[in-house]
Amino acid sequence: MMGYGNCNSTLSREMCLRPASAENLAIFSWTPLNQSPQFAHGAGLAKIYSMKIRVNFAAILFALALASCGYRLAGTETHPPAGMESVFIDIADNRTGESGLEQDFTQALVLAFKSDGRIKLTDKKDAQAVLKSELIDVLDQPVAFDRFGRANLVQVTVSSRVYLLRPGAGEKIWDSGIITETEQYPASDDFLANDALRGQALVQTCRRAAAIALDQLAGGF
């Protein structure tokens, strides 16, 4: 592609505005007259690669931020059928081996639906769908240590899934996808205190996961 006009000889450094080639995605660059076209071409490509690296890095950070907050990327859930107004919440299926967690998760779902009010809770025989859930995994990971190398802050992560079944046929009509929530709690040499604090952290993860599932489900009506 040809350059635009003549160069201005009064500039302290003689520069010429030349549109870059199609290979450089039409990026314009200032090129000194005594500089070779090959050098300018390489500089244009370097700028493109640098921009791509920055964009990709930003996208990775954004995805990690979403994951750390318990959110999921769009496209992993299905949408419930229109007109559904009532559900029955079944006891959660606990596959984690964490005793009693199914009670905490089921209670969190019931409380979330009752306080929200967009979808009514009814008996199983009267419900338009059955809301089921499963607890997939629980992971504890130390995230901070004291000067003796002992963990004094632990992060617990709970992975779960919530879905709707059509009564009778058992056909799945909506699925939240995997919801991952984390909560941190302080740790010490007091094992009873640690157990109590961990239990509170697990309840918090259940409540946030239930709220996320409700928002996804109610948003589809």
- pLDDT tens digits, 62-81: 444 444 444 443 334 455 56
- For position 103, which CATH number holds? 3.30.160.150
Phi-psi category of residue 5: left, alpha or beta, with phi > 0 → left and psi -120 to 50 → alpha: left
Shared domain check, 43 and 108 = no
Shared domain check, 146 and 202 = yes
Shared domain check, 208 and 146 = yes
Residue 32, pLDDT above cutoff 50: no
Range of the domain at 32: 15-68
92 contact partners, CB below 8 Å, separation of at least 6: 101, 102, 105, 106, 109, 132, 133, 134, 135, 160
* Greatest extent of the chain over all pairs of C-alpha atoms, in Å: 88
Polymer length in residues for the chain: 221
pLDDT of residue 101: 98
Residue 148 covered by a domain: yes
Strands 15-19 and 86-89: unpaired
Shared domain check, 199 and 167 = yes
**Count of the separate structural domains present in the chain:** 2
Shared domain check, 139 and 48 = no
Shared domain check, 92 and 190 = yes
Shared domain check, 173 and 105 = yes
Residue 172, pLDDT above cutoff 60: yes
Q: What is the mean pLDDT of the chain?
A: 76
Shared domain check, 57 and 94 = no
Shared domain check, 106 and 198 = yes
Q: How far apart are CA 180 and CA 9, in angstroms?
A: 64
Residue 172 covered by a domain: yes
Place 170 in a pLDDT band, splitting at 50, 70 and 90.
confident
User: Which candidate, 124, 135, 119, 130, places its Cα nearest to that of 214?
Assistant: 119
Q: What is the pTM of this model?
A: 0.65
Strands 172-186 and 120-121: unpaired
Residue 35 covered by a domain: yes
Residue 2 covered by a domain: no
Place 126 in a pLDDT band, splitting at 50, 70 and 90.
very high
Contact 166, 173 (CB under 8 A): yes
Shared domain check, 97 and 177 = yes
Beta strands in the chain (DSSP E): 15-19, 28-32, 86-89, 93-94, 120-121, 130-145, 151-165, 172-186
> For residue 77, what are its two tokens?
């859930």
Place 220 in a pLDDT band, splitting at 50, 70 and 90.
low
* Higher pLDDT pick, 140 / 21: 140
Residue 5 covered by a domain: no
